[in-house]
Amino acid sequence: MNSLKILVSAYACKPGQGSDPGIGWNVSRELARQHEVWVITRNDNRFAIETELTKNPVPNLHFVFYDLPTWARLWKRGQRGVYLHYYLWQIGIYSIAKELHCEVGFDIVHHVTYVKHWGPSFLSLLGVPFVWGPVGGGESAPKTFWHDFNARGKVYEILRDVARWLGEKDIFVHLTARRSTVAFAATQETGERLFALGCKRVEICGVAGIPKSDFDSLAALPPAGQKPFRLISIGRLLHWKGFYLGLRAFAKLNLPDAEYWIIGDGPDRSDLETLAKELGISNQVRFWGAQPREKTLSLLGECHALVHPSLHDSGGWVCLEAMAAGRPVICLELGGPATQVTEETGFKVPAPEPEQAVQNLAGAMAHLASNPDLQVNLGQAGQRRVKQVYDWGVKGQYFTQLYEEILSRAVETSA
């Protein structure tokens, strides 16, 4: 099939980033390797994008920058009001996309970011085959864990559930679902919600990926030494990241020479430090705080395995980075990490309730600590899996094959 004309909606799109901005950038760049791609994104992303394209041009990649008028976004401060801003931005880009479609004549429209299933994309109304996602957001912390959360954590979970419930009642979200030719879900939980919203075809596809340059850097990290056995967790210190479960599991190991490093900062840091003291492991646990990416990767290289006990991650980029670095991953059998980690690459442990999750995490830690050869085998398998499944180039080719299938079916239907 010849090069296609593709319109991408990417509210978040920024080179060199993880999470939504990284998804927006990497998907757009990979698609432009084979197709003519136009990306509608926000003005806030302009400087980073234009700087990167000056250094590393991508001839087939075109950007249209749009934001709401100043008076309509005065109330937005950082993350405060971001979802309302996102909703209004989606409305605002429709007329731009319609004009652009009249001029270019797009073959495919693909909504890429934000990656949440309970926000609409008005570009589904353009009358062009519409691809939605991958999107996430259908994952929830099991209710059996709520009694462990402090008041702030419980309020967060309640507000998140309410926001999702309201989003799923939005007529335009249902319209987006019904008009999607294919919807990609980050997890099975989100996939079930997409079917309920009216999507005709849902495919499971992880939101996270690793650029080849990052993979090469991570794969070049040297093996950790034999001793001490050292675990690491990386991420914001929030209740739903589950680091308190990792600490409780580590305390059960009874390995006085073992160490547990935690990189990141957040509102739960003081609670976690207090918990480490109460568990009698404060001399084995080191809180590094937030660190630059280079330092974080260097510290990862000194550890034997990643512990990522998140309760509702759609993505889990850090798991892929650890796997690319040849480190086994220990996670809960929940959300996006459970789709990334396999028996060959690490441990995804059942988490029906907190105490059982802690026992299962501790068992996985102990098994790794006593089996250096297993650490190496799991790490090597993780590198292979990332290269075969989560390389952004592989994902770009996957989307291209899907576009070809969609357009071939459209031709057959019209014949």
Whether residue 313 is predicted with pLDDT greater than 90 in this model: the reply is: no
- Considering the chain, what percentage of its residues have pLDDT values greater than 90? 81
pLDDT at 366: 96
Domains 5-209+391-414 and 213-389 fall in the same CATH topology: yes
Whether residue 73 is predicted with pLDDT greater than 80 in this model: the reply is: no
Give mean pLDDT, residues 303-318: 91
pLDDT at 77: 62
User: Please, which pLDDT band fits residue 413 given cuts at 50, 70 and 90?
Assistant: low
How far is the C-alpha of 210 from the C-alpha of 374, rounded, in Å? 24
Give mean pLDDT, residues 85-103: 94
Whether residue 60 is predicted with pLDDT greater than 90 in this model: the reply is: yes
Distances from the Cα of 222 to the Cα of 171, 298, 326, angstroms: 52, 10, 9
Rg of the chain taking only CA atoms, in angstroms:
22
How far is the C-alpha of 47 from the C-alpha of 53, rounded, in Å? 10
pLDDT at 48: 95
How far is the C-alpha of 216 from the C-alpha of 219, rounded, in Å? 5
Q: Which residues contact 373 (CB under 8 A, 6 or more apart)?
A: none
Mean pLDDT score of the chain:
92
Give mean pLDDT, residues 334-359: 94
Give mean pLDDT, residues 359-381: 95
- Helix extents (H) in 13-146: 19-31, 46-55, 82-104
Among 72-76, 372-376, 391-395, name the one with the lowest average pLDDT: 72-76
Give mean pLDDT, residues 246-272: 94
Among 41-45, 145-149, 204-208, 356-360, name the one with the lowest average pLDDT: 204-208
Question: 73 φ, ψ to 5°?
Answer: -135, 20
Query: 392: closest CA among 128, 212, 132?
Result: 212
- Considering the chain, what percentage of its residues have pLDDT values greater than 70? 96
Q: What is the pTM of this model?
A: 0.89
Whether residue 68 is predicted with pLDDT greater than 90 in this model: the reply is: no
Q: What share of the chain is helix, strand, coil (3-state, %, to 5)?
A: 50, 15, 35
Other Cβ atoms within 10 Å of 342 Cβ, number:
16
Question: What's domain 213-389's superfamily in CATH?
Answer: Glycogen Phosphorylase B; (3.40.50.2000)
Please give the structure tokens belonging to residue 234. 């990386």
Domain range summary for the chain, segments of one domain joined by +:
5-209+391-414, 213-389
**Cβ atoms of 5 and 304 closer than 8 Å:** no
User: Please, which pLDDT band fits residue 224 given cuts at 50, 70 and 90?
Assistant: confident
Whether residue 414 is predicted with pLDDT greater than 60 in this model: the reply is: no
User: Please, which pLDDT band fits residue 269 given cuts at 50, 70 and 90?
Assistant: very high
User: Please, which pLDDT band fits residue 236 given cuts at 50, 70 and 90?
Assistant: very high
The verdict on domain 5-209+391-414 having CATH code 3.40.50.2000 is yes
Tens digit of pLDDT for each residue in 98-155? 999 999 999 999 999 998 999 999 999 999 999 998 999 999 999 999 999 999 999 9
